[in-house]
């Protein structure tokens, strides 16, 4: 269990790798993004300064951009509008928290991919397909796919790997109607987000989204959205299929941890080493650049 952001008088109902959730009244939840960073399904001891604020502000921006496509569970991110017992904690919450409608979360990572990378690349090299979807022969790392694909995955506990599943598996888990809506909304969000990012010379290689249900059955976008933690962002002017791509996300941390310099084997049970100061600084700079390039606004 990772340490929650300290908030006097509040106890989280769930502490995730990055976010802490607090129950508010009967039907609301406070989501607080920490500066923790995870890689290879481990939470590292080295925080990235301002990361929680960057993730929250970028999610809020995307919520606004995507509102015509899909509803979301945001109530407000203005601390002054929080209930009094929360607004008094403004210094700790401002910029990194969202007050949201509580949902029945779909226990699936809704993943959309437009380029061949990450776990999809490994699966393609092994099977010629991803989540049961056949892909053309001869694709290389970083290639743009003929069309975006929906590749759901199970949500694994902290320290374990999410597992890609087929669409048929998804239907068995959540039913035909919800599976269809989840797929269609995920792909619609990806296509719109890719269009927006590309206009700012950023390629959205892939992203994972989370959805939940209101009591009336409405499917809503939830949690973080299209951040460097949940997405791969590549500079469009440096895109060159055939190998790893430069990125504005935590791939920089993954690369350092898997390098000889770190002295750590990601496949081992040993805890990952602390990040050097320059890796922390470079990671923070990449997160800020992702925000500023995509939104066109200073953080």
pLDDT value for 95: 97
pLDDT value for 157: 64
Helix (H) or strand (E) holding 156: none
Helix (H) or strand (E) holding 29: strand 28-33
Instruction: Report, as an integer, the average pLDDT of 224-243.
Output: 96
Q: Looking at domain 14-102, which of 3.30.200.20, 3.40.50.12780, 3.30.565.10, 2.40.30.10 is its CATH number?
A: 3.30.200.20
Range list for CATH 3.30.200.20 in the chain: 14-102
Q: What is the DSSP letter of 272?
A: P
What percent of the chain stands above pLDDT 70?
96
pLDDT in tens, 86-134: 988 989 999 999 999 999 999 999 999 999 999 999 999 999 999 999 9
DSSP string, 58-122: HHHHHHHHHTTT--B-EEE--GGGS-HHHHTTHHHHTTTEEEEE--EE-SEEEEEEEE--HHHHH
Cα torsion 18, 282, 114, 70 to 10°: value is 40
Residue 236 clears pLDDT 60, i.e. is over it: yes
Banded model confidence at residue 159, pLDDT cuts 50, 70, 90: low
Tell me, which fold does domain 105-255 have in CATH?
D-amino Acid Aminotransferase; Chain A, domain 1 (3.30.470)
Half-sphere exposure of 270 (CA within 13 A, CB side): 10
pLDDT value for 9: 72
Task: Give the chain's end-to-end CA distance (angstroms, integer).
Answer: 30
Banded model confidence at residue 249, pLDDT cuts 50, 70, 90: confident
Instruction: Report, as an integer, the average pLDDT of 163-186.
Output: 97
Mean per-residue pLDDT of the chain:
94
Closest of 226, 211, 183, 223 to residue 58, by C-alpha: 226
Range list for CATH 3.30.470.20 in the chain: 105-255
For residues 296 and 14, what is the distance between their CA atoms, to the nearest angstrom?
34
For tokens 């401002």, name the residue.
94
Residue 158 clears pLDDT 80, i.e. is over it: no
pLDDT value for 1: 42
């Amino acid at each position: 269990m990772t340490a929650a952001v300290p908030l006097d008088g509040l106890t989280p109902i769930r502490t995730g790798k990055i976010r802490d959730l607090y129950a508010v009244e009967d039907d609301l939840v406070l989501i607080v993004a920490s500066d923790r960073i995870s890689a290879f399904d481990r939470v590292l001891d080295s925080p990235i300064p301002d990361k929680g604020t960057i993730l929250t502000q970028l999610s809020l921006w995307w919520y606004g951009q995507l509102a015509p496509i899909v509803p979301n569970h945001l109530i407000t991110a203005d601390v002054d509008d929080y209930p009094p017992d929360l607004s008094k904690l403004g210094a700790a919450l401002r910029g990194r928290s969202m007050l949201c409608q509580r949902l029945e979360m779909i226990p699936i990572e809704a993943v959309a991919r437009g380029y061949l990378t990450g776990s999809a690349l490994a699966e393609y090299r092994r099977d010629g397909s991803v989540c049961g979807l056949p892909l053309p022969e001869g694709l290389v790392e970083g290639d743009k796919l003929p069309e975006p694909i929906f590749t759901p995955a199970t949500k694994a506990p902290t320290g374990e790997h999410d597992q890609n599943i087929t669409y048929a598996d998804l239907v068995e888990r959540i039913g035909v109607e919800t599976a269809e809506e989840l797929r269609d909304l995920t792909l619609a969000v990806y296509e719109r987000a890719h269009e927006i990012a590309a206009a700012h010379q950023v390629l959205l290689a892939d992203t994972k989204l989370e959805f939940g249900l209101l009591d009336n059955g409405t499917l809503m976008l939830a949690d973080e959205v299209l951040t460097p933690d949940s997405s791969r962002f590549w500079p469009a002017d440096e895109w060159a299929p055939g190998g790893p791509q430069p990125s504005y996300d935590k791939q920089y941390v993954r690369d350092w941890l898997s390098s000889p310099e770190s002295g750590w084997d990601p496949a081992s049970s040993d805890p990952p080493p602390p990040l050097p100061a320059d890796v922390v600084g470079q990671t923070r700079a990449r997160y800020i650049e992702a925000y500023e390039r995509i939104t066109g606004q200073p953080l």
